[in-house]
Structure 1
Amino acid sequence: MGEFELIERFFKRPARRSPLGVGDDCALLQPAPGMQLAVSTDMLVEGRHFLSTVDPLRLGHKALAVNLSDLAACGASPLAFSLALALPAANEAWLERFSRGLLALADSHGCELVGGDTTQGPLNICITVFGEVPAGGALLRSGARAGDDIYVSGSVGDARLALEVFRGRLSVPAAVFEAARARLEQPTPRLALGMALRGIASAAIDISDGLAGDLGHVLSQSGVGARVDSVSAFGLLASPGIPVDTALDLVLSGGDDYELLFTAPPSASKAVQAAAAASATPITRIGTIHAEPGLQLVDRSGAVLMRRFTSFDHFA
C-alpha cells in the first residue's frame, strides 16, 4: 500500500466546513464573523509520549485529545485539524484502528480533518488543531488576580499512576490500574467546560506537564503567587495502599492529565459551579491566588510543604 492509497483509505473524507480538504495543497478556513482563530500544535513520539504497546485506537484518540485540550484551555470551539504522520510501515490493521479512534473523537466534537502529510520513519504523530473563539474573549494564562480562587476539573495524577504501574514502581488493584490506564491513554478534552467558562474564569491552562508546573506558568504570566491546599486525595489516588507522599508527587509533578486548571474571583463562584454543571464536568477548588509571587503548597494539617515539585521537561 502506497502513501496516497493510505491517505485515501484511512483519512480522506468529504469536506464539510473547509472549501478545500484532504487531497489539496491547502485547506481554507474562515472563522465566523466576530471570531478569532485559535491554533495549537502537539507532537506525540513513540517511547517519549506513549508506549509501543498502546492500542492504536486509543492512540488515535489521544493524539487529537491533547490538541483539543489546548482549545479547551482557551475557551475555543473546534473547527478542524491537520495530521502529519510518520510510520515505520503501512500496517493496515494498525491504521484502521488508529484512524477509527482519531476520527471518532473528531466527529464527536465536529472537528474536521482538512490536510496533513505522511512519511516513512519512526512513529511520530503531529497534529495542528484550529478552533474559534469570540474576538477578545479567549481564556489566557495571564489574567489571574490576587484573591481569585483556583480550580481544577476532574481528577489529577491518575495518568501518572498508570505509568508508574507500567514501570513496576507501584502496584494497585487491577480495577484501579485499568481506570488509570484509560485516563492515560484516552484523556477527555474539557471543551464544554472551557467554552462555559468564557467571561467567568480569569485565567486558564490545561494540565499536561504536572499541576505544580502548569500552575507556575499561570503565576508567572499573571505576576502573582498562590497557596494550594493538599490535593493528595484526588481521584484514583485516594485508593488504599498509595502513600500520601507518592500521591502528592503524582498529582503535582505527574502530567498527562489534560484537565483544566483555572482561576476565578470569589464573586463568580456560583457562575463557576453553573458552568461545571452545564458542561457535566466535576471541579474542585484547590487554593487561592496571592499578590506575593511564589507557590506555597500546604498539607492536610496546614503545614507548608518544603519539598520542591517540578513539572515534566523534555530536555531537563
Structure 2
Amino acid sequence: MAAGGSGEDRLIARLFEPIARHPGALGLKDDAAFLQLPAGHHLVLTKDALVAGVHFFPDDPPASIARKAMRVNLSDLAAKGAEPLGVMLAFAIPPDMDDAALAEFARGIGEDCLLFGAPLLGGDTVRTPGPFTVSITALGSVPIGRMVRRTTARPGQAIVVTGTIGDGALGLALRLDPDRPGFAALDAAGRAYLADRYLHPRPRVGLASTVRAHARAAMDVSDGLVGDLEKMLAASGVGGEIDAGKVPLSPAARAAIQAEPALLATALTGGDDYEILATMGEGDVDAFEAAAIAAGIGASVIGRTAVGAGLVVRGADGAALRFASTSFSHF
C-alpha cells in the first residue's frame, strides 16, 4: 500500500494515509512497515478474509463492512490473550464501488483503528471484476509463553463463555426472513439489536489480560458455539458437556426463541458471536467473571470438560440435543 503517482496511489494518499498514524507505517509511502515488539513479548498474528455475498451483504453500509473486517480479526487476538499492535489491510474493489463508498469504508477502518488501538500499518489495494473482498491481518503481542491456545484444555475444567450467544446468527436469520414467528414477537428495539449484532461484532479486546490470567484454553466463537467448542475439545483431546439452559442469551434472543423454539439451534450453532470461549479451573472462574462484569460484558459457566471425546449438549429435560449442523462451514 505504498503511495506514488498512480490512481491507486492517489486513492491511498487521499483515504488511507490520514488514518495510518503509526510511525512504523511510514505514511504508507514504502513497500513495507516496521514494528517494535514490547520487550519480552511474542508476536501473535491472525488473518481473516471477508467476501460480499458470503460474510456480508453487498448492500451493507461500507463503514459496517470495514468494522466487521476489523473486528473479526481483533476477536481472534483477544481470545489468545493478545493486545493489538496493528493491522494490515488488503481489499479488492469491484466496478460498482464508487468513491463515496470507498471513503465510507476508509472511515470505518480508521475509526476502529482508534477505538481498539490497532493502527493501520499497510496493505494492498486492487481492482476485481468479482465481489468486494476484504482481508485483514491483525498483529498483537503477548508476554513470552503466555498465548492461550485452543489445544490446552484439560478434564475437569469449567467451560465459560463471555457476553451473549446467538445474537449475530439471529440477526442474519432476521435479515433473511423477517416474517418468521420468532421475529414477529420482537419490538423494533429487539429487531434493531439483533441486526446490529450481526453487522457489528464486538471483539472482547478489553478482556485480553483476563484471558491470559485465568483461561487454560480459549478461542473466539465465530462459526457457532457448539461447533467451535467441539473443535477446541477435539484439539485438546478431551470431552465435555454443556447445558443449553445456561448459555447466556440477550433479551431479544430469548424472546425470539420463546416465540419460535427452533431458533435455539440457530443461536447455538449459527456463529457470528465473536465472544470468548474458554476453559479454566474452578479457582479462576470467580475472578474471570468479575473482570468480565467490570468490563460490562459478563461471563457464564455453561458446562465442564471431561475425560473422553466429543461434546454433549443437554436440553431443558436433560436429554442430549441433536443438530443438523453444529457450525457454519465454507466447505
TM-score range, shorter chain: over 0.9
**1:257 corresponds to which residue?**
273
Matches within 5 A, 1:186-201: 186-201=200-215
- 8 Å contact from structure 2 (residues 22, 120) kept in 1: no
**2:12 corresponds to which residue?**
7
Cα distance in 2 for partners of 1:258, 1:227 equals 21
Cα distance in 1 for partners of 2:142, 2:330 equals 30
Q: Which amino acid aligns with 1:125?
A: V
Match of 1:158 among 160, 167, 170: 167
**2:189 corresponds to which residue?**
175
- 8 Å contact from structure 1 (residues 249, 309) kept in 2: no
- 8 Å contact from structure 1 (residues 212, 309) kept in 2: no
Q: Which amino acid aligns with 1:46?
A: A
Matches within 5 A, 1:201-220: 201-220=215-234
CA 237–15 in structure 1, closer or farther in 2 if over 3 Å, else same? closer
Q: Does 1:234 align with 2:272?
A: no
CA drift of 1:279 comes to 2.8
Cα distance in 2 for partners of 1:202, 1:278 equals 21
**2:3 corresponds to which residue?**
none
Where does the alignment leave 5 or more consecutive residues of structure 1 unmatched? none
Using the size of structure 1 for normalisation, the TM-score is 0.94
**Structure 1 SS opposite 2:24:** coil
Q: Does 1:274 align with 2:290?
A: yes
Number of aligned positions between the proteins: 315
- 8 Å contact from structure 2 (residues 48, 136) kept in 1: yes
Q: Deviations over 1:167-200 (max 9, x none)?
A: 2262333322211111001111101113222131
**1:37 corresponds to which residue?**
43
CA 152–244 in structure 1, closer or farther in 2 if over 3 Å, else same? farther
Where does the alignment leave 5 or more consecutive residues of structure 2 unmatched? 1-5
CA drift of 1:21 comes to 5.0
Match of 1:66 among 72, 75, 86: 72
Q: Which amino acid aligns with 1:149?
A: A
- 8 Å contact from structure 1 (residues 23, 115) kept in 2: no
Q: Does 1:108 align with 2:124?
A: no
**1:55 corresponds to which residue?**
61
* Structure with the larger helix share: 2
- 8 Å contact from structure 2 (residues 164, 248) kept in 1: no
- 8 Å contact from structure 1 (residues 226, 288) kept in 2: yes
- 8 Å contact from structure 2 (residues 289, 298) kept in 1: no
Matches within 5 A, 1:87-98: 87-89=93-95, 91-98=98-105
Cα distance in 1 for partners of 2:21, 2:235 equals 39
Q: Which amino acid aligns with 1:135?
A: I
Cα distance in 2 for partners of 1:194, 1:233 equals 20
CA drift of 1:96 comes to 1.7
- 8 Å contact from structure 1 (residues 18, 27) kept in 2: yes
Q: Does 1:296 align with 2:312?
A: yes
- 8 Å contact from structure 2 (residues 312, 320) kept in 1: yes
Q: Deviations over 1:229-262 (max 9, x none)?
A: 0146611221156456423212221011111111
Cα distance in 2 for partners of 1:291, 1:146 equals 5
CA drift of 1:214 comes to 0.6
Cα root mean square deviation, aligned: 1.9
- 8 Å contact from structure 1 (residues 154, 282) kept in 2: yes
**Structure 1 SS opposite 2:137:** strand
**Structure 2 SS opposite 1:198:** helix
Q: Which amino acid aligns with 2:138?
A: V
CA 118–19 in structure 1, closer or farther in 2 if over 3 Å, else same? closer
**Structure 2 SS opposite 1:49:** coil
CA drift of 1:274 comes to 2.8
